A = this chain, B = another copy of it.
Amino acid sequence: MFVKEITVMNFENYFPVWNDLNTAQKKIISDNLITQYVKKGTIIHNGNLDCTGLLLVKSGQLRTYILSDEGREITLYRLFDMDMCLLSASCIIRSIQFEVTIEAEKDTDLWIIPAEIYKGIMKESAPVANYTNELMATRFSDVMWLIEQIMWKSLDKRVASFLLEETSIEGTNELKITHETIANHLGSHREVITRMLRYFQGEGLVKLSRGKITILDSKRLETLQRS
């Protein structure tokens, strides 16, 4: 009981519309809230095979991506501490007609509001429905940004952006990442990425070694990104 109250108390701070819920709604969420720990690499949500529920990231990192029939990937966006994941509950909104995969990119602590519970509250609560709107608009905006990257930014800029983003996320200039992984993130091919990275190395922007990319000149990568 004591542990549960602490959990719920914590959840209140993470869930922005908690104070807009009535007592019954608070109770039904508290009673059905699931806490879960997932190890790095776990696939949390897979297309429309499951409708897990709304995920709230307590700590860790999730990656949302789409997968082609041939197994190519494009990263849509990442979720970090305190971020809410709506697409893992895509069944609650009928008009969501696409499928994403969500994996834990780091060991992650989650809260899960089961889909049916959230759906029931969203149907009757304008604040929760409007909050859901804002969540979807945020992800929609992420995807619109991506489409512009793909269509109008040349690959050199996208690779530069990706490397800068990774150094910022990881907090280090030494990235342990394969060319294959970068290719998957950018919806490209390994050979194409390797070529670009070698070009960057030739320009003195990065240093390549086995399984590692060291950023040597982030200033010029930023210039390239903006060019």
Q: When the two chains form the complex, which single residue of B129, B130, B143, B145 contacts A144, counting CB atoms closer than 8 Å?
A: B143
Residue in B closest to A142 when the chains form the complex, CB atoms: B97
| A146 in contact (CB, < 8 A) | yes
In residues 113-142 of chain A, which contact B (Cβ within 8 Å)? 122-126, 128-130, 132-141
- A93-B137 in contact given A74-B147, A98-B145 (Cβ < 8 Å): yes
CA distance A187 to B140 in the complex (A): 19
- A143 surroundings in chain B (CB, below 8 A): 140, 143-144, 147
- A151 surroundings in chain B (CB, below 8 A): 68, 72, 74, 150, 187
| A1 in contact (CB, < 8 A) | no
Stoichiometry, as copies per complex, reads: 2
| A95 in contact (CB, < 8 A) | yes
Chain A 58-102 near chain B by CB (<8 Å), digits 1 or 0: 000000001011101010000000000000000001111110000
* B134 contacts A136, C-beta separation under 8 Å: no
Q: When the two chains form the complex, which single residue of B130, B135, B139, B187 contacts A129, counting CB atoms closer than 8 Å?
A: B130
| A152 in contact (CB, < 8 A) | yes
Q: Closest CB-CB distance, A141 to chain B, in whole Å?
A: 4
| A5 in contact (CB, < 8 A) | no
- A69 surroundings in chain B (CB, below 8 A): 152
Q: When the two chains form the complex, which single residue of B123, B128, B130 contacts A122, counting CB atoms closer than 8 Å?
A: B130
Q: Closest CB-CB distance, A173 to chain B, in whole Å?
A: 29
- Given A93-B133, A95-B135, A136-B136, 5 more contacts at CB 8 Å? A68-B148, A98-B140, A129-B132, A140-B143, A143-B144
